[in-house]
Amino acid sequence: MDSPLVAAIEAGGTKFVCAVGTGPEDIEEARFPTTLPEETIARSIEFFNEAQERRGNVESIGIGTFGPADVDPKSPTFGHIKKTPKANWSGTDLASPIRESLGNVPLAFETDVNAAAWGERKWGAAESLNDLIYITVGTGIGGGAVSDGKIVHGTSHPEMGHLRVPRDKSIDPFDGCCPFHGDCLEGLASGTALKERWSEDPAKIPADHPAWELESSYLADAIINITLTLSPERFVLGGGVMDQDHLFPMIRERVTERLAGYIEVPDPEKFIVPPGLGPQAGVLGSLALAQDMLK
Distance between CA atoms of residues 51 and 252, nearest Å: 43
Q: What are phi and psi of 205, to 5 degrees?
A: -75, 125
Distance between CA atoms of residues 61 and 9, nearest Å: 8
Q: What is the pLDDT along the chain (295 residues), one digit of tens a residue?
A: 578 999 999 999 889 999 999 999 999 999 999 999 999 999 999 999 999 999 999 999 999 999 889 999 999 999 999 988 788 999 999 999 999 999 999 999 999 999 999 999 999 999 989 999 999 999 899 999 999 999 998 777 788 999 999 999 999 999 999 988 999 999 999 999 999 999 999 999 999 999 999 999 999 999 999 999 999 999 999 999 999 989 999 999 999 999 999 988 879 999 999 999 999 999 999 999 999 999 8
| 117, 133 contact by CB (below 8 A) | yes
